[in-house]
Structure 1
Amino acid sequence: MKALTANRLTDGEVVFWKSGQWVTRFADAELWADDDPAAGEAEGQGKTQPTTVVDAYLIDLVESEGLWAPLSYRERIRALGPTNHLHHGKQAEGGAVIEALQHAHGAARSTGRVNLIKRK
């Protein structure tokens, strides 16, 4: 599975794609199968919004506690908010999705990010 993420330009907030717009919670993100061409279309649409977001890319997901979570540790941190205290950021909301994000395993790089930094 994959999700589309970026950073909002107005405040730097991590955002996720859902039905043609950016949302702030990973729990609300639209998810696609790995081979779904709609994921690439959404990524293209997200990248055409340079005055709204920066660095839009697809991230890999892994199933955790019956829910989906980013595979890479970096992306889980981005989805949860700052790591300095559990009562800061999105992790302070609590709930099943936050629990799944906190307990997910895997540290592989997101293929979307790897493709961004490869020299062509």
Structure 2
Amino acid sequence: MRLNELLGRPVLDAGGTAIGGVADVRLVQDGPLLSSMNSALRIDGLIVVERHATQLFGYERHVGPALLRWLMHRHLGEVWYLPWAEVSVTGDSISTHVPRAELQRLQDVARR
């Protein structure tokens, strides 16, 4: 699967309700060793934005000036992190078996 096939796709929660769109993908470099002597990248999870699947600049987390973070949250709405294991890609949408009320907010997910 290619990254551009995921970005912007609508995401549905466990009840089939649209919760937003894919704005970004979190990758980890722990895959098999490649000929370049680097490990391959794999998808760790999706970053889902409630209102606008737009480019993120990091202000959706606890970085940057408070006013700028507040403005981004007003514009984007909630920003969630969906671990790849909880995601199912079907047709034109992506779904998760987790209800909206139990989704992890991106700012609460520890960086790995």
Provide TM-score, normalisation by structure 1: 0.22
Q: TM-score, normalised by structure 2?
A: 0.23
- Structure 1 or 2: larger strand share? 2
Point out the structure with the larger helix share: 1
